[in-house]
Amino acid sequence: MVELQIAARGIHNQRVLAAMLEIPRHLFIPPPYDRAAYEDNPLSIGSGQTISQPYMVAKMTELLALTPQSRVLEIGTGSGYQAAVLAELAADVVSVERFSHLAEAARQTLEALEYGNVTVVVGDGSLGWPERAPYDGIIVTAAAPALPPSLRSQLAPGGRLVCPVGSRDLQQLKVLVRGPEDRFAEHDSIRCMFVPLVGREGWSA
């Protein structure tokens, strides 16, 4: 998976590749889809939600440019797999999920794998998680109609927000960087297709 789907497509960050080699992705996916855990596509995790395609996890993680000291916020815990990748690369991870049963399942998987630096919480992640802000990296693994202002305000100076923005069917991955004196720079990365971010600063349903 890492060699053929990720490195071969231009992801060269050695820390990202090493993290994804390390993590047993099949443990994050309920049967019967766990048999396809290392294939090149998103998979169902129930409740109409998905675990993202491995390449998309790698691409978004690389765009965050994390260091071992980074404090990270993830919106959309889903299976917990992306949170595990973040936990390998950063000091501290908060992950927000709107469905409590998905949050609980992810929590159990992450605990079983002894990721002590991840906190999974239930809530409307379109509003971020202000209790632990600011963050050096914020990753949104669901599609927003526009960059949520709350997430922007919870970025630390130098911090990066990676978020799919667009229609419900097709999005562009946006990268927002908070520079000095509160100047923000934004650029587009690849096109993508995510399930909707449902919340106050996302889609209404």
- Residue 115 interacts with ligand SAM (CB under 6 A)? no
User: What is d(CA 44, CA 195) in angstroms, rounded to the nearest whole number?
Assistant: 11
Count the Cβ atoms, other than its own, within 10 Å of residue 126. Answer: 24
Instruction: Select from 9-17, 31-39, 119-127, 152-160 the region that touches ligand SAM (CB under 6 A).
Output: 119-127
Helix 100-112 and helix 81-89, axial crossing angle in degrees, nearest 10: 50
DSSP assignment letter at 119: E
* 94 and 47 Cβ atoms separated by less than 8 Å: no
Instruction: Report the sign of the C-alpha dihedral through residues 57, 104, 145, 41, in that order.
Output: positive
Q: Exactly one of 52, 79, 95, 150 is catalytic; name it.
A: 52
Among 5, 61, 141, 150, binds ligand SAM (CB under 6 A): 141
- Residue 125 interacts with ligand SAM (CB under 6 A)? yes
Residue 149 or 157 with smaller CB distance to ligand SAM: 149
Among 5, 13, 50, 70, binds ligand SAM (CB under 6 A): 50
- For ligand SAM, the binding residues (CB under 6 A) are 49-52, 75-76, 78-79, 81-82, 96-99, 102, 124-126, 141-142, 194-195, 197-199, 202
Residues with a catalytic annotation lie at 52
